[in-house]
Structure 1
């Protein structure tokens, strides 16, 4: 495994990963990282990385600051050792960092209700040691300085120290400022030698101050003298500093004893914090290389979509699509030495090691990686000068070692298989080795420039050719991997591009037999066909995406139109109702006035009153057809809802049918192929089918039961499906349905086409249409019955 890790540049990948750790704890975890061969362990690692990636996506980062490796401090305290102030403050800072990280993860799970079971389990192991943290912080500041408040004794001693220092400086300052003594000093300053205050005195005035000489200048012209006047004060100061040191030592010993009591908990915290730092580093690395979580299997199946080598410049690397272990287990990449083949080989190998290490890999979503028990690689020229081995011998020694161990749970990578010896013998050896590895059930990716292997995959089940595309115009490889197309020699094309005489090229072609020419022409045709197919596929995908976007926009506009239409109808109804009420009030007023006039004896005949009333009734505003429809719907809505009714779900704006009554307030409603439970207040009755005396039972697929509002044809043969559709239409009519759904799926389209043709000819089908966005789309046909 160590050799494979080296040749696939696994350690270089880990160097990139180390850039994302926050502490030496996480860095050590990265150093210890190795691929696992157990799928359960790999799945657990991948799930941890995915949870951390979720946190990074939502929060940007996790709070990992202030954490350091305090393992030596905790172990020394545990055996009774005394810790320094800086070591104790590192312990307090790490305790705080662990407490903050634990709270961060708990909040995301308990309050924000995120699913982070593995991170939460790690965080729960962190013990909150607030008392120890508080004790240290009360005695030591962030710079590792013991505070005066650490103890009353220390405060008193430091006050004495400051008092002695002040007295000494006062006396020395009076000496340095005195005009009579300034001429005796080299400089009018106070300094310190051997932790005692001194003044710089010229050599010739040595006896003028008395006291003690502590030092002299390099030239000997200046002596640093502690004058006799301050010797006593300096002695008192040193005694006070000694007491200060002893008190600080006592305080640190007491704090170390507190740390010793929780040393085991600290060691657990350190391990958990290192693990969490490592997990979040994997998530940050995944974000940096735009990696995703692959599906995993132990069947030797690999499906890499747009895979990129993480060590190459992400702006220059060309993604590759590769599948291995399904229809074929041997992938043979042929073609000239253009550099692209080895990159492909290393991409497959390194991404396999990364996924088995719990790292997300730089591929698109929905990719899949295998967990192999063994990964073997023979890549590059590793000629050993010490052993005096040739290139061929070196490779063959490695291959022999591989063949001794390979089995059905292995991935084998061969670079330039059979190179370094006679081409005919090398190609024959390569074919034999590939056959042997395949027979053992291993997955193999091999590169070669031997033309004899171009036909290998055509003659072997479970093997396929591939090549790295080469652009003859630019004389550079494009690094695009072409699956199913063997590599072809570009020697003639390159020579022509570089200006070699055409006559020489034609003579060279005459030296190649017809069979070789036919193979090259076949490869050229395959390349052209594949490029054409890829181009047409890309165009089709663009058209499909545009169609989906247009369909979504039309659905949105239709919904907005329906809402606006209903609002206008409601507004029109309200205006019409107000006009009716106003007209009636005016009519009644006029009729009352006419009757008063009649009572007063004025000549107003009854027929005049009748004519006036009729005239006013004719003046009453009339409802439009749409307004009448709205009133009719509103009236229906007042009736109780029952199974079989056509209703509108107001919150969705969609029509459907009531299939069952759950209770007085809830009904089961079918909208297209979807059934849902809906509250009565969210339903508007649109229509009620006429009662049919015939019992709504029918035989569908050989069993008697109530007819459903949908028929599922998926999985049926074409002829059987057509018979089922005809029978179902009859049963649905007997059951009193006005609208049903026929689910045929998309598939090849043959079943959908047959259903459409049958429905158009059926005498009891009023209309048919494709399902909407919420009705199954093109996989469902909605049928309206007569």
Structure 2
């Protein structure tokens, strides 16, 4: 895309804003190369990358990119068999460490199931080298200093240097303390030629002996290495030389390790630079509250609440800009300083930003097209060198545009035809628009010529637009009004500013009839627009009011339903508490009955079972039962003596024998007579004749899957006795004549308990141990 247009639109200022968020050298290089792209797939990929960056900024704060240097110099030296110093190797180490960090970072994003469009694939381009990363990290620090851990030899040498330094300082202390201080100009130990010395007064040189390394400018001080420490200094110097040689050996070794990997490391650095730029684009988008631009399938630009990104967001006016669908040419008219040029630049700059993969300062769901070129003719581009007038400069630029324009171009022209005779300017402007329109490009132009307003009104694919002007305040509102041409407002402004009315009227009378008709048309359109906006505001207000009423209704209905449900649940909880209390009381009564029975008083077992079952059936599930209709029908039925009924508790059919004074029904169930409440009985459809033919035996129902054998092995005594009691009752109701109780041998406690229970149960006819082939004394066969 041509740089001239981007310069006029101030695209470089957008790049400068993004640059504030960059931290890598490669990221800055990529930013300089950042340009709007004209291939839709590339534009979409760049937008997707920024979208991923925005998601990461929102969830994680940022992509963790380190401050990285450019590695091309290091790469060139290594390829020429040169070696690197510590600082250069530290820079390579930073790239390797950042590569490992990003690999781990994106793995965690995958674990967190964060969807990304492009950055997982970009991350795959990074080549991790954990072995080399660890070696460099162990050998040099961030500043390039070789670490003690780089080699055992280096560690030993540095420990030796530390000991020698300590010994030398200890030896030197006797010269800087006590009686020897009178021979010194200062009581300090300093360095000269990397050797420890003391500052001795010249006249006392013979007192110290040793080597003189330096003299003060005044000649009054000699820097002497005392003879007592010369040997230590020599050893220190040798150790320091060994240290430097070992450091060089380590750096050369590291250079040899990096050399075959340098191409991959440079590629990693470039990918990390891309991540840095994506990070910066996302942070910039966050700063301007940018949104993702959607690429239009129909080459339509539809910007909602678009703002110029370089104007203070608290002052800039947002506008809807739509072009390329029903019309491809928009002519904006209106007074000077009304915002025409800014609106045009907003369109051009937002398009450039979107095609460079940036988020745009517009409302969500805004659409952009992908243009192959943006041509701009904005401002006074008069060339002094070429001695061109303003008009000539514009014409030269427009001629160049006409030669290069295509159906996928966006053309922005400010003050079309200005700078010459108005009549001729209007004519040439219309001719230019007609020529450009033949290429089917998208055009936005500004003008003051009334002839162009008529042209736009009468030409297909062309629409008038204007910048709103407040006649009361005599100030522009900077609002773009599509479909309405602008009027000059010269007479209104003059009148409001105090111009003599006679002058204003005379000026209006001198206007041609065509101009008067055009102004009247514009005034009528403006009045209609305001009327439409007023009605639209009223409708929106009514819609909002209706929505509030609907929301209030839904809220109250929900509260009522919740209140009803809560009351029902609370009532059932209270009922269950009462039942629970009653059950505990009944258990006490049943325990007393059993104790009476053990004392020799006969108590019928079926009476105990019936009492417990009746109490259990009082409990209501807290979830609402689904058989309300069934229970309602049951309450309506009239039961009487002789009716065939079904005992719902046991699923058995029986006959009502009598009804006592407590409204309990006594029902004959085979050989048993049991009492039930009305809710526990359901009248059957069996006819009297059919019931008379039924055998007087309890029928086994389909729901009874009762086994003829009960196994009590491995159970505790109390559990076994309870299960035996319930089993014998169930066997009787199921119509079994004989059952087997398996109690095993064990200690004999359960076997004795079974025998004792069977002896006292009046429903047991007889019992005895099973045959040897069926378990012997480990099982008891019971006849009921």
Whether these two folds match at TM > 0.5 is: yes
Instruction: Indicate the residue corresponding to 2:293 in structure 1.
Output: 294
3-state SS of 1:86 partner: helix
When the two chains are superposed, the root-mean-square deviation of aligned CA atoms in Å is 3.0
Instruction: Indicate the residue corresponding to 2:162 in structure 1.
Output: 162
3-state SS of 1:262 partner: helix
Aligned-residue offset at 1:632: 4.8
Instruction: Indicate the residue corresponding to 2:103 in structure 1.
Output: 102
Instruction: Indicate the residue corresponding to 2:321 in structure 1.
Output: 322
Change in 2 beyond 3 A, CA 1:449/1:159? same
Instruction: Indicate the residue corresponding to 1:235 in structure 2.
Output: 234
Instruction: Indicate the residue corresponding to 1:114 in structure 2.
Output: 114
Contact kept? 1:298, 1:371, Cα under 8 Å: no
Q: How does 1:574-613 map to 2 (within 5 A)?
A: none
Distance 1:540 1:170 in 2: 94
Contact kept? 1:335, 1:450, Cα under 8 Å: no
Distance 1:214 1:410 in 2: 79
3-state SS of 1:313 partner: coil
Aligned-residue offset at 1:346: 0.5
Q: How does 1:265-284 map to 2 (within 5 A)?
A: 265-284=264-283
Q: Does 1:490 align with 2:489?
A: yes
Contact kept? 1:39, 1:297, Cα under 8 Å: no
Distance 2:538 2:220 in 1: 93
Residues 706-740 of structure 1: per-residue CA shift (max 9 Å, x gap) = xxxxxxxxxxxxxxxxxxxxxxxxxxxxxxxxxxx
Q: How does 1:510-521 map to 2 (within 5 A)?
A: 510-521=509-520
Q: How does 1:177-326 map to 2 (within 5 A)?
A: 177-179=177-179, 181-297=180-296, 299-326=298-325
Change in 2 beyond 3 A, CA 1:582/1:102? closer
Q: How does 1:269-668 map to 2 (within 5 A)?
A: 269-297=268-296, 299-569=298-568, 630-632=628-630
Distance 2:93 2:468 in 1: 59
3-state SS of 1:215 partner: strand
Instruction: Indicate the residue corresponding to 1:56 in structure 2.
Output: 57
Instruction: Indicate the residue corresponding to 2:127 in structure 1.
Output: 127
Residues 648-693 of structure 1: per-residue CA shift (max 9 Å, x gap) = xxxxxxxxxxxxxxxxxxxxxxxxxxxxxxxxxxxxxxxxxxxxxx
3-state SS of 2:29 partner: helix
Aligned-residue offset at 1:381: 1.0
Aligned-residue offset at 1:66: 4.8
Contact kept? 1:572, 1:627, Cα under 8 Å: no
Deviates further, 304-313 or 121-130: 121-130
Instruction: Indicate the residue corresponding to 2:84 in structure 1.
Output: 83
Instruction: Indicate the residue corresponding to 2:19 in structure 1.
Output: 18
Change in 2 beyond 3 A, CA 1:194/1:502? farther
Aligned-residue offset at 1:463: 0.7
Contact kept? 1:294, 1:366, Cα under 8 Å: yes
Aligned-residue offset at 1:482: 1.0
Aligned-residue offset at 1:208: 4.6
Q: How does 1:703-742 map to 2 (within 5 A)?
A: none
Instruction: Indicate the residue corresponding to 2:34 in structure 1.
Output: 33
Contact kept? 1:139, 1:149, Cα under 8 Å: yes
Contact kept? 2:303, 2:322, Cα under 8 Å: yes
Aligned-residue offset at 1:628: 11
Distance 2:632 2:64 in 1: 59
Aligned-residue offset at 1:413: 0.5
Contact kept? 1:213, 1:224, Cα under 8 Å: yes
Aligned-residue offset at 1:287: 1.5
Instruction: Indicate the residue corresponding to 1:781 in structure 2.
Output: none
Aligned-residue offset at 1:372: 1.1
Residues 61-86 of structure 1: per-residue CA shift (max 9 Å, x gap) = 22223544334334534543322223
Distance 1:59 1:492 in 2: 59
Distance 1:212 1:502 in 2: 107
Aligned-residue offset at 1:143: 4.1
Contact kept? 1:372, 1:409, Cα under 8 Å: yes
Distance 1:170 1:91 in 2: 42
Change in 2 beyond 3 A, CA 1:138/1:424? same
Aligned-residue offset at 1:528: 3.2
Distance 1:172 1:574 in 2: 92
Distance 2:477 2:633 in 1: 71
Distance 2:145 2:576 in 1: 86
Aligned-residue offset at 1:107: 2.0
Change in 2 beyond 3 A, CA 1:577/1:28? closer
Aligned-residue offset at 1:201: 2.8
Q: How does 1:678-693 map to 2 (within 5 A)?
A: none
Structure 1 or 2, whichever has the larger Rg, is 2
Contact kept? 2:409, 2:442, Cα under 8 Å: yes
Distance 2:568 2:369 in 1: 62
3-state SS of 1:164 partner: helix
Contact kept? 1:298, 1:372, Cα under 8 Å: no
Could you tell me the TM-score, scaled by structure 2's length? Answer: 0.71
Residues 476-520 of structure 1: per-residue CA shift (max 9 Å, x gap) = 322111111111112233333433333433333333234323322
Distance 1:72 1:537 in 2: 66
Could you tell me the TM-score, scaled by structure 1's length? Answer: 0.70
Aligned-residue offset at 1:575: 7.8
Aligned-residue offset at 1:51: 2.1
Distance 1:32 1:578 in 2: 78
Instruction: Indicate the residue corresponding to 1:750 in structure 2.
Output: none
Size of the aligned set, in residue pairs, is 594
Distance 2:387 2:542 in 1: 61
Contact kept? 1:39, 1:298, Cα under 8 Å: no
Deviates further, 113-122 or 507-516: 507-516
Change in 2 beyond 3 A, CA 1:345/1:174? same
Q: Which runs of 5+ in 1 are unaligned?
A: 584-619, 621-625, 637-786
Contact kept? 2:338, 2:477, Cα under 8 Å: no
Contact kept? 2:391, 2:420, Cα under 8 Å: yes
Contact kept? 1:569, 1:630, Cα under 8 Å: no
Q: Which runs of 5+ in 2 are unaligned?
A: 583-617, 619-623, 635-784
3-state SS of 2:183 partner: coil
3-state SS of 2:331 partner: strand
Distance 1:220 1:538 in 2: 96
Contact kept? 2:23, 2:67, Cα under 8 Å: no
Contact kept? 1:196, 1:226, Cα under 8 Å: yes
Distance 1:581 1:95 in 2: 71
Instruction: Indicate the residue corresponding to 1:731 in structure 2.
Output: none
Contact kept? 1:379, 1:415, Cα under 8 Å: yes
Aligned-residue offset at 1:399: 0.5
3-state SS of 1:192 partner: strand
Contact kept? 2:95, 2:265, Cα under 8 Å: no
Change in 2 beyond 3 A, CA 1:87/1:423? same
Aligned-residue offset at 1:317: 0.8
Deviates further, 560-569 or 450-459: 560-569
Instruction: Indicate the residue corresponding to 2:719 in structure 1.
Output: none
